[in-house]
Structure formats: structure tokens, C-alpha cells
């Protein structure tokens, strides 16, 4: 089987989880390769996401690693067996691979939680808001590129508005709601859009106001996507060196705590809707 030239974030995650299981069992890649009847290079390719692994081999590995977490094993089997070529594949070669990885992760997520301080979260953005936001991208996008970026963002909203929407919670700081990424009219439409979505049973929008005392969590922006089990959750955060996909147990646990702290100081959903409604009326 040919090696993947550009494994997705999901394929890389599967390989990383298999490597973690092996290391926890105290086995070397050479020992594991012998167990499967392959060479060390093939085992390395599996653990680096460059090559797939069958359900039979995956379950054999889990048994020899003495992994007793059946839910985790089933989740990994599901990842290994997945052959989905989603709508995002239409953008391969057109958009950065990061965009496609995000779409794939969202498609498979069991829930999503966002925290944002400067911009309206992507899944809530209107067409005009997204276009105005991407217009500031550097290097500057051509008209065709800009159209593709906006189209992709709009299609990502299917995880909230499609036939099988995922539970979604977001905490948005007042600054993100007040900054006029577009003009006054576009900002009003954007706030109205958030209000409309917040009425859905699977969506919870919470606001952190400017005048909140003792809030030191303004550096907590993140996208948290749930896996089939907590061990397979993923957090996406922007960093000075680029966007990072975070999936280690220790970091995930820390970021779960961080979300609860940010959520705990925000307005309840009903009060948040009233707050956003007042902002919209001001426009």
C-alpha cells in the first residue's frame, strides 16, 4: 500500500494514540513490528499516520499492550476504518490543509466548545462577517481565494445547522461582539444571527461583559472538540508559531478546567441573549 503523502490531523492522531499505547506498555517499535509480522519501518509508518492499520491488527496491538479501555479501542477502530471523503475534499489544493483538518475534526466531533475574545466564533459567523475578516489576511487573498475561504467557512456551519447537529457551547467576550469587523449594518446582522442560533436546543451562547471584576482569562481562546471518548478530544489553539492541535491527556485536562472557569464567570444563556439584543439595538 502506498504511503500517504499528507496525512490528515485525524490520521496523525490515530498513529499517535497507537504509539502512546505502545510506550505505556513498555514495548519497542521493533517488538511490535515483529508481533504484526512487519518490519520496523512499516510500524513507524503506522504510528506516524503515513500508513493505515486494519481493525484486526489494531485490536491485536491493543490486546498485547494490555489496553483495557474498550471504549477507546472502539473509537480507534472507528478512526482506522473511516474512509469518509467529506465535502471539504473539494477544497484540497485550494485551501491550506489546516482548514480541511478542522472540517474533518468537526464532522466527527461529538460536541464542540468555543471561547473567543476578539472575533465571533467561526461557526456563528455570517457571510459578510467572514468576508470582511478574511479580507485582512496577509498576504492578501485574491478574489478567487477569498471566495473559497468564505465558502468553506459557510459550509462548516453544517455541524450546527445540518440534520444531525452536534451540541455546541460558546463563551464570547463583549469585545468580540462590539468590534465592527464589517460595517454597522453587517455587525447588526451578525448579532441577530447569533441570537437566532442561540434559540436552538443544541446551542448555548454565553457572554463575558467588559465590567466583570477579577477576570484574568483573556488569553484562553480555544476550540474544543469532543471525541468518542474524552481521551480522543482535541483542542485547537492559535499560537505565535501557528495553529496547534492539542491532544495530550495532561493538556486536555488543563483545558477542560480552563473552559469551566471561563464558563463559570460568564452570563447564563438567557442573560447573554438579553445582552446581545441590547448591543444590536445600539446599532
Residue 238, beta-bridge partner list: 243
> Taking 70 as the threshold, does the pLDDT of residue 1 lie above it?
no
Could you read off the pLDDT of 71-84 as tens digits, one per residue? 999 999 999 998 88
- Crossing angle for the helix pair 70-81 and 9-24, nearest 10 degrees? 140
Could you read off the pLDDT of 150-164 as tens digits, one per residue? 999 999 999 999 999
- Crossing angle for the helix pair 70-81 and 55-64, nearest 10 degrees? 150
Calpha distance 195→198 (Å, rounded): 5
> Which conformational region is residue 173 in: left (phi greater than 0), alpha (psi within -120 to 50 degrees), or beta?
beta
Contact 129, 75 (CB under 8 A): no
Could you read off the pLDDT of 102-129 as tens digits, one per residue? 999 999 999 999 999 999 999 999 999 9
Calpha distance 113→102 (Å, rounded): 14
Could you read off the pLDDT of 218-228 as tens digits, one per residue? 888 999 999 99
In sequence order, which residues have a C-beta less than 8 Å from that of residue 84 and are 6 or more positions away? 104, 107
Task: Note the maximum CA span of the chain.
Answer: 69
Domains of the chain: 9-81 (1.10.260.40), 87-282 (3.30.870)
Burial class (CB in 10 A: 0-12, 13-18, 19+), 168: buried
Calpha distance 160→130 (Å, rounded): 17
Could you read off the pLDDT of 8-59 as tens digits, one per residue? 999 999 999 999 999 999 999 999 999 889 999 999 999 999 999 999 999 9
Amino acid at each position: 500500500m502506498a504511503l500517504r503523502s499528507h496525512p490528515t490531523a485525524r490520521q496523525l492522531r490515530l498513529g499517535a494514540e497507537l504509539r502512546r499505547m505502545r510506550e505505556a506498555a513498555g514495548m519497542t517499535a521493533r517488538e511490535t513490528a515483529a508481533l504484526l509480522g512487519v518490519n520496523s519501518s512499516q510500524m513507524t509508518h503506522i504510528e506516524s499516520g503515513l500508513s493505515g492499520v486494519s481493525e484486526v491488527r489494531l485490536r491485536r496491538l491493543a490486546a498485547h499492550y494490555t489496553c483495557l479501555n474498550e471504549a477507546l479501542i472502539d473509537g480507534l477502530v472507528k478512526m482506522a476504518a473511516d474512509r469518509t471523503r467529506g465535502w471539504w475534499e473539494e477544497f484540497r489544493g485550494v485551501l491550506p490543509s489546516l482548514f480541511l483538518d478542522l472540517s474533518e475534526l468537526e464532522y466527527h466531533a461529538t460536541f464542540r466548545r468555543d471561547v473567543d475574545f476578539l472575533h465571533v466564533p467561526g461557526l456563528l459567523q455570517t457571510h459578510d462577517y467572514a468576508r470582511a475578516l478574511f479580507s485582512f489576511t496577509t498576504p492578501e487573498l485574491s478574489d478567487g481565494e477569498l471566495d473559497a475561504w468564505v465558502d468553506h467557512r459557510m459550509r462548516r456551519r453544517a455541524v450546527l445547522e445540518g440534520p444531525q447537529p452536534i451540541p455546541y457551547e460558546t463563551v464570547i467576550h463583549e469585545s468580540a461582539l462590539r468590534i465592527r469587523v464589517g460595517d454597522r449594518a453587517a455587525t447588526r446582522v451578525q448579532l441577530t444571527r447569533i441570537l437566532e442560533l442561540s434559540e436552538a436546543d443544541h446551542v448555548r451562547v454565553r457572554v463575558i461583559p467588559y465590567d466583570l471584576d477579577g477576570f484574568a482569562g483573556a488569553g484562553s481562546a480555544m476550540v474544543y472538540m469532543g471525541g468518542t471518548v474524552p481521551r480522543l478530544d482535541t483542542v485547537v489553539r492559535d499560537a505565535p508559531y501557528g495553529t496547534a492541535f492539542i491532544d495530550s491527556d495532561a493538556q486536555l485536562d488543563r483545558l477542560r478546567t480552563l473552559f469551566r472557569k471561563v464558563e463559570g464567570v460568564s452570563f447564563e444563556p438567557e442573560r447573554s441573549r438579553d445582552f446581545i439584543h441590547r448591543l444590536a439595538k445600539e446599532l
